[in-house]
A and B are shown apart, each in its own frame.
Chain A
Amino acid sequence: GAVVSQHPSWVICKSGTSVKIECRSLDFQATTMFWYRQFPKQSLMLMATSNEGSKATYEQGVEKDKFLINHASLTLSTLTVTSAHPEDSSFYICSARGDGLQPQHFGDGTRLSIL
């Protein structure tokens, strides 16, 4: 149980394009979803927290207009990297959790490469 699916797993695109990443909880209702960025050989950096039907809460230093997050249902959240540039290239990981003391369950990540 507690499966989180993240799609796509790998994206290569040209500078200036926008990229959408989907995160789905397959067998539970995700009250809260999280988006992380991970640089090589580093830990996860929380970008934002989203609750279904509410605006996302962004961490300090994360550009809201660059990284658009939508959490329209209890099973789906999307991250859109707008007008992506090479410095946005990274490994993006989502996670989802239910209510109470439920742990976060992670997707398999998306490797984003901007040329």
Chain B
Amino acid sequence: AQSVTQLGSHVSVSEGALVLLRCNYSSSVPPYLFWYVQYPNQGLQLLLKYTSAATLVKGINGFEAEFKKSETSFHLTKPSAHMSDAAEYFCAVMGGTSYGKLTFGQGTILTVHP
């Protein structure tokens, strides 16, 4: 079984500041991990994915995430926040089971202040 915990339901940063969204996972098999972003009244857009290759994964819009097995973490970062980054972010784990079902975290709402 898999589970995902996103620490902090709300994160607020200033424009230009570092963005750090935390995600810890639990999986009984080697995990595949994903970060998705959701803008209001829209579906989810894939930001990046980890599928057992490089532990530092670069995604779209300047985001990246680092897989740390020892910490069971997959935190999402961006060096400099833009106003357009304001959205809800979901971390998800796929445990290599059939059908590729995802287990989502509860989401983190990112607010960016001018």
Chain A residues near B (Cβ < 8 Å): 4, 6, 32, 34, 42-44, 46, 49, 51, 57, 91, 93, 95, 97, 101-109, 111
Contact = CB atoms under 8 A, between A and B. Distances in A.
A62 to B, nearest CB: 14
Given A104-B100, A104-B102, A109-B42, 11 more contacts: A6-B43, A43-B90, A43-B104, A44-B104, A46-B102, A51-B99, A95-B44, A103-B46, A104-B34, A106-B45, A107-B43
Interface in B1-37: 32, 34, 36
Nearest to B32: A101
A106 B90 CA distance: 13
Contact of B99 (A4, A32, A103): A32
Given A43-B107, A102-B100, A93 B90 contact: no
A28 B34 CA distance: 20
Interface in B58-114: 90, 99-102, 104-107
A108 B100 contact: no
Interface of B: 32, 34, 36, 41-46, 49, 51, 90, 99-102, 104-107
Contact of A44 (B49, B90, B100): B90
Task: Say whether chain B's binding surface is mostly helix, strand, loop, or mixed.
Answer: mixed
The residue among A104, A105, A107 with the most chain B CB atoms within 10 A of its own CB is: A104
B11 to A, nearest CB: 15
A107 B42 CA distance: 8
Nearest to A44: B104
A49 B43 contact: no
A57 B100 CA distance: 13
B54 to A, nearest CB: 14
Contact of B49 (A6, A93, A103): A103
15 contacts: A34-B101, A34-B102, A42-B107, A43-B90, A43-B104, A44-B44, A44-B104, A46-B101, A46-B102, A91-B41, A103-B34, A103-B49, A105-B46, A106-B36, A106-B43
